[in-house]
Amino acid sequence: MELVIFIVSLIISITVHEFMHAYVGYKLGDTTARDEGRLSFNPIKHIDPIMTIALPVITFLLFKAPILVAKPVPFTPWLVRYREKGVALLSIAGPLSNLVLAAVAAVIARSFSGGSITYQILFYFSQLNIGLFLFNLIPLPPLDGSRVLYAFVPQPVRDLMDQIEPYGFFVIFAIVALGGFGGILGSLYNSIMNLLF
């Protein structure tokens, strides 16, 4: 049951996350995502069977820390208004949508008793979305946080990030497998969950 709740919550959360990337990109003048059918709440448009379903389930079962990867929303940097700053806005839209989903779930959860199944599902949904919010803000390519950081760092740092990006996923996987990100992210996670609940 926990696995079923996890998969359903993951599909909802990632769909909203990727839709917001596409929507903000469209509002900033880039029609790439819309033209490829990604400006949609249809989860099939945003899900890669291996990376979005199989990988999170496997890493969740192995490490209790799922690596969550949706099909990336395409964008054309030179079509996005405000250039790097616009790309940063497009990138932050996804994680912020997860924070909003967590907050909405927490507000609804208060209508139910703490022992009810509905409360537990909403609590779990919030946990997942706070995890998505924080994980995606890690400033390592190709995560959203790296796009935000990219807009504000000097060119030598950008060059380094460009070199890291092809290997970024493997670096992130290794860090998660070794129990990394736990300290700072754990503290932020607990603070946000305490605030919401």
Closest to 75 in 3D by CA, of 56, 59, 63, 88: 88
- How far is it, in rounded angstroms, from Cα 85 to Cα 92? 11
Which of 108, 97, 129, 111 minimizes the C-alpha distance to 193? 129
Rounded CA separation 156/162 (Å)? 10
Which one-letter DSSP state was computed for residue 70? P
Q: CA 71 to CA 109: how far, in whole Å? A: 30
Between helix 2-27 and helix 55-63 the angle, nearest 10°, is 130
- For the annotated catalytic residues, the residue numbers are 18
